[in-house]
Amino acid sequence: MESKLLTYLIFLPMVGAVLIGIAGKGRDGVSRWLALTVSIGTFAMSVPLFTRFDETTAAMQFVHQVPWVETLGISYAVGIDGISVLLVLITTLLSVLAILSSWTSVTNRVREYMISMLLLETGILGVFCSLDLFLFYVFWEAMLIPMYLLIGVWGGERRIYAAIKFVLFTLAGSLLMLVAIIYLYFEHGGATGTYTFDLMVLHKYSVDADSQSLLFLAFFLSFAIKVPLFPLHTWLPDAHVEAPTAGSVILAGVLLKMGTYGILRFCLPLFPLATAQYTGMIMVLSVIGIVYGALVAMVQTDVKKLVAYSSVSHLGFIVLGIFAMNEQGMQGGILQMVNHGISTGALFLVVGMIYERRHTREISDFGGLAKVVPAFSAVFLITTLSSIGLPGLNGFVGEFLILLGAFQANLTLGVVATSGVVLAAVYMLWMFQRVVWGDVGEANSKLQDLSLREWLVIAPLLVLMVWIGVYSDTFTRRTEVSSRHLIQMVQTRQMAGAGKSMADLQLSETTIAGRTSTRSVGEQGK
Amino acid sequence: MSDLLQAAIASNLESLQFAGPELALTISILVIVTVDLVYSGEKRALMTGLTLAGLLWAVWSIVGLYGTEPRSLFAGMMALDDFGLFFKLLMAGTTLVVVVFGIQSTDIDEKLAEFYAVLLTIVLGGFLMASSTNLLMMYLTLELVSLPSFILAGYQRHVQRSNEAALKYVVYGGVSSGVMLYGFSLIYGLTGTLDLFEVSSRIAAQGGLDLTLFLAATMSMAGFGYKVACVPFHFWCPDVYEGAPTPVTAFLSVAPKAVGFAMLARFFYVGLSSYDGTLGTSLAGQWPELLAIVSACTMTLGNLTAIWQNNLKRLLAYSSIAHAGYMMMGVVMLSSAGLQGVMFYAAVYLFMNLGAFFVVLLVADRTGSEDIKDFAGLGWRSPFIAAVMTFFLASLTGLPPTAGFAGKLYLFSAVVEGGLWWLAVVGVLNSAVSLYYYWRIARTMYLEDPAVAEPLGIPAIATVTLAVLFAGTVVFGIYFGPLSDLTAQSTTLYAPVQAAAQAMLR
């Protein structure tokens, strides 16, 4: 299926950014409306990807490929499959909501803000759609600059520190990945004679068993920083707390998923043997992350920081599901990537709304909101429950599948991970109780309830929470074939690798045996 | 004897037709000096015009010679090959840009004719450096670049730090070229020849000279190292860069460095190793290992020191030391991929580094200092300048989709292909370090509030110059196929043995 739809989708926000650059000078209203129009247009363009998606195949769809730097085997290649389709949609959706949510909260340098938002969207969509390692790397790095500006210019008090920390962490990881990409390129070229960065070609190649381990680590480190996997998570709370609301929404909703997506797209299929080798360690780390994130979240006094640490815990679940290496875990992991985008995105939006009213995020400054702003409190409640994983809402489906997978893979880790679900209920409900129930303080007594714009921002996410909670089949149907195919591919390769080393072993045994027998024959001859 | 003489004369006369670029420069220099003597009216436009014309003439004849059969010129003193021509092109291109800078700089105002004549003399020296194949010629051309550079560094006679810069430059230049000469004399003593090709064939024939030759190579490195400003011969660099007028600094940070690398590569590849056009092995001990260590130290020291700088010219000086370290990685590999990496990087470095210097020049001329503080809020005062500056900085860091990324891709590829893992990792980590200080400038421009809110008054010609450099940084970052092909075709160094072999094949 050849189509240029993805290319238009990826670059439409960039075109929008250029338009705003030209037309938005000194006219904030124009910048806002242009950005909103373009992001809605992008979202509208992404809907056919979902409706016209062929769920019976694991092959790449909507592929668009043109040669770029032919001497190096670099091509511009984009396409999606079951692993990326939902992520593309959540990106385009959250971008609209993020822009809408910053309508009144961002008042200085609106033009530059909207340009950054749209460029960021292009970068993220590019990461999710690239089918060429070089192209992927370009988007992966290019997205750093707009995110840096979003945190650094429009962020909170310690924004500069948080912004530079975010960039340095990401870059340190991704540069090692670059070396690994180049190595992979030469190894594949040396072994097959075709020098190419084309991921689909590289997927067919079995990377040399000896180099897999280091290559896997180089790729994985970069993705683990992005996820972030314990103990590489320290940049996340800083970035989240300092970022403006829209920045946090995009960061939690989509950027973190680039890490888990990278693991699925690159680490597993390219280095299956190394995956098997490190699965145990990674599962342990993700379980530590689940529990650690939850415990730290529990003692936070700042709502936003609490949500940030809860992200560390939730992302631990996703990684656990992926590395459980069975269909339930994998499906759960992919679905949970979307769920986390919806629930945590919604939480950050809700926190942003209350911050806009009170200019504080300290839990102790609130109380009794249910009496003053009932609609807001109801929305907050649904969002909280969705994040906890209440049956009937989206979080439950994902976490349930992940735990199902984890229990099959490793009982102990499964049990410990389940405690994360319990802890999540504790810290979220406790926070909710302190903010929404209780007595109304003077400062909170005159708050406005949700405006129409705020309803528009939050409503789509509420709908999705219920939809996935009640009828997740719409979504899992599309991811099923791809995730099954990925697992099969990894397992076949692992088996082949194991078989090969077994064969080597047998071969060497026979040689030794052969040599001994010859010697004994010789001795007999004497 | 007279036969030899006649042969030499014949060779020289025949070679003249291939020395178009050098002739163009020589004639231009003479014309400028003469016109300055006889014409007494307003000279600024005239001199600039003559200089630009001379440079364009040189570029035109370089392009004309491109792709000519490689050959030896002037009785073995020089070689004509695409490798040398490529670096000549870079040198001439840099100078063109710098002349355009000079028009707009307040640093360059008096004695314009001398300035241009001296500048073109350096270019002439650089052209000769890029193609020298004789040790004596190498020494002379290096001095031909160095001596006028001292004058340019001290061009602002009334400014104290400019004088200081010139003096430091002279002292370091004198010492390091002396050490280099000593190294050359050792090579001459061991092999009995000054001709690079003869040197390598005699080393190969004699054998067993590894240690002494390694010592000679190390000493020769002093001269090259001084020219490309790599550790431990870099001490002059920050002071000179800070003290010299900004256009001169921009020039010094790109042009002599590029041809320095050309000469360095030719010396080691042709003279001290057996390089067959794709791969080579050292004939003089462990010099690749030595250069690998020099490269690692250079980039690490450059980057770590740059972090602490507040004066932007100084910061860029240390950053240019680090970039010399990156380029050195390519030379270390002793492969055509490595050479291609050096050439590609030198080309993109031209655009991004000149761009960054030009922005510093524009801002410093209007605020009166080069301190990083004066960049505060530039992103809101002059969005265009700040945006392109950010792009140049991203390119210097090596972030995609900029030319700097493509350049680093080629260098790292060569290193990874050669299997020198530790060097690749050092290079990569250094890129992460460099992000910190380049980003500091971007941070100051965007995240700090300006002291004054008015935009800087930037003339149209400056905008155009910036746009051209910016275009180079973008285009070679996104569509670098053609530059890649050009550099790949230009990696063959002229060597008589190969030339003979190729002639046999035909």
Q: Using a CB-CB distance cutoff of 8 angstroms, which residues of chain A are in contact with residue B401? A: 138, 142
> What pLDDT is stored for residue B55 in this prediction?
94
- Residue B425 and residue A176: Cβ atoms within 8 Å? yes
What residue in A sits closest to B419 (Cα-Cα)? A183
B429/A142 CB distance under 8 A: no
Comparing A493-507, B186-200, B321-335, B473-487, which segment has the lowest mean pLDDT?
Answer: A493-507
Cβ distance B278 to B335 under 8 Å?
A: yes
Mean pLDDT score of chain A, rounded to an integer? 83
* Alpha carbons B39 and B326: distance in angstroms, whole number: 47
Residue B34 — φ and ψ, nearest 5°? -65, -50
Residues of A in contact with B378 (CB under 8 A): none
Chain B, residues 444-463, CB within 8 A of chain A, namely: 446-447
Of the candidates B355, B381, B356, the residue with the CA atom closest to the CA atom of residue B448 = B381
Flag whether residue A71 sits within 8 Å of chain B, measured between CB atoms.
yes
* Cβ pair A69:B400 closer than 8 A: no
Measured on CA atoms in the order B431, B436, B441, B445, is the torsion positive or negative?
positive
Q: Which structure tokens are listed for B246?
A: 């900004």
Q: Measured between CA atoms, how close is A433 to chain B, in angstroms?
A: 38
Tell me if A145 and B405 make a contact (CB, 8 A cut-off).
no
Query: Which tens digits make up the pLDDT trace of B19-29?
Result: 889 999 999 99
- What is the pLDDT at residue A506? 53
Chain B (319-348) residues lying within 8 Å, Cβ to Cβ, of chain A: none
User: Which of B184, B63, B79 has the alpha carbon at shortest distance from B135?
Assistant: B184
Question: Hey, are the CB atoms on B405 and A163 less than 8 Å from each other?
Answer: no
A174 Cα to chain B: minimum distance (Å):
10
Say how far apart CA B264 and CA B117 lie, in whole Å.
Answer: 26
* CA–CA separation, B114 and A457 (whole Å): 68
Q: pLDDT tier at B30 (50, 70, 90 boundaries)?
A: very high
Nearest to A182 among B399, B413, B480 (CB): B413
- Predicted pLDDT at A71: 78
CB-closest option in B390, B447, B480 to A160? B447
Angstrom distance (rounded) from CA B240 to CA B238: 6
Q: Which regions of B278-367 does DSSP assign to beta strands (E)?
A: 280-282
Instruction: State the average pLDDT for chain B.
Output: 87
Residue A518: predicted pLDDT: 42
Q: Nearest to residue A298, comparing CAs of A284, A287, A313?
A: A313
- Identity of the residue in B432, B447, B488 whose CB atom sits nearest the CB atom of A175: B432
Residue in the block written with tokens 């499906």? A331
Residue with tokens 């004054």: B452
**Chain B interface test: which of A69, A122, A160, A161 (most B C-beta within 10 Å):** A69
- Taking CA–CA distances from A73, the nearest residue in chain B reads B481
- Give the model's confidence band at B499: pLDDT under 50 very low, under 70 low, under 90 confident, else very high: low
B interface mutation test: which of A147, A178, A208 has the most B CBs within 10 A? A178
Nearest CB to A70: which of B380, B436, B481? B481
Chain B interface includes A11 (CB < 8 A): no
Question: Omega into B401 within 30° of 0, i.e. cis?
Answer: yes
What confidence tens digit (pLDDT) does each residue in B215-234 have? Answer: 888 999 988 999 888 888 88
pLDDT of residue B143: 92
Q: Which run of H or E residues covers position B426? A: helix B421-447
Contact A33, A19 (CB under 8 A): no
Q: What is the mean pLDDT of each run of 10 residues along chain A (526 residues)?
A: 80 88 79 87 88 83 84 85 88 89 81 88 92 90 84 79 83 84 86 84 81 87 87 83 83 88 88 86 90 89 87 90 87 90 89 84 79 85 88 86 88 87 87 82 76 85 86 84 85 76 53 45 41
What is the DSSP secondary-structure string of B193-241?
A: --BHHHHHHHHHHH---HHHHHHHHHHHHHHHHHHHT-TTS-THHHHHH
For residue B144, give Cα distances in angstroms to B135, B150, B227: 14, 11, 12
- Measured CA distances, B338 to A22, A175, A243, B349, B488 (Å): 43, 20, 42, 16, 10
> CB–CB of B443 and A160 under 8 A?
yes
A191, A197, B67, B274, B322 from B335: Cα distances, Å: 20, 22, 21, 11, 22
Which of B145, B302, B141 has the alpha carbon at shortest distance from B235?
A: B302
What is the per-residue pLDDT for B299?
A: 92
In terms of Cα–Cα distance, which of A454, A464, A438 is closest to A376?
A454
Nearest CB partner across the interface for A145, out of B394, B405, B431: B394
Residue A164 near chain B (CB below 8 Å): yes
Mean pLDDT on B488-502? 71
Contact B84, B123 (CB under 8 A): no
CB contacts of A145 in chain B (<8 Å) are 390, 394, 399
Give the nearest chain B residue to A143 (CA atoms): B400
Q: Would you call A97 helix, strand, or coil by DSSP?
A: helix
- In chain B, which residues have their Cβ closer than 8 Å to the Cβ of A185? 413
CB B73 within 8 Å of CB B137: no
Q: Does A185 touch chain B (CB under 8 A)?
A: yes
* Domain spans, chain B: 2-505
* B258-305 pLDDT per residue, tens: 999 999 999 998 888 888 777 888 877 788 888 999 999 999 999 999
Reported confidence tier of residue B393, pLDDT bands at 50, 70, 90 = very high
Asked if A119 contacts A21 with a C-beta cutoff of 8 angstroms, the reply is no
Tokens of B222: 């002093």
Q: Least CA distance to A142: which residue of chain B?
A: B400
Label residues A361-391 b or e (16+ Cβ within 10 Å = b). Answer: bebebbbbbbebbeebbebbebbbbbbbbbe
Interface contact B446-A152, CB threshold 8 A: yes
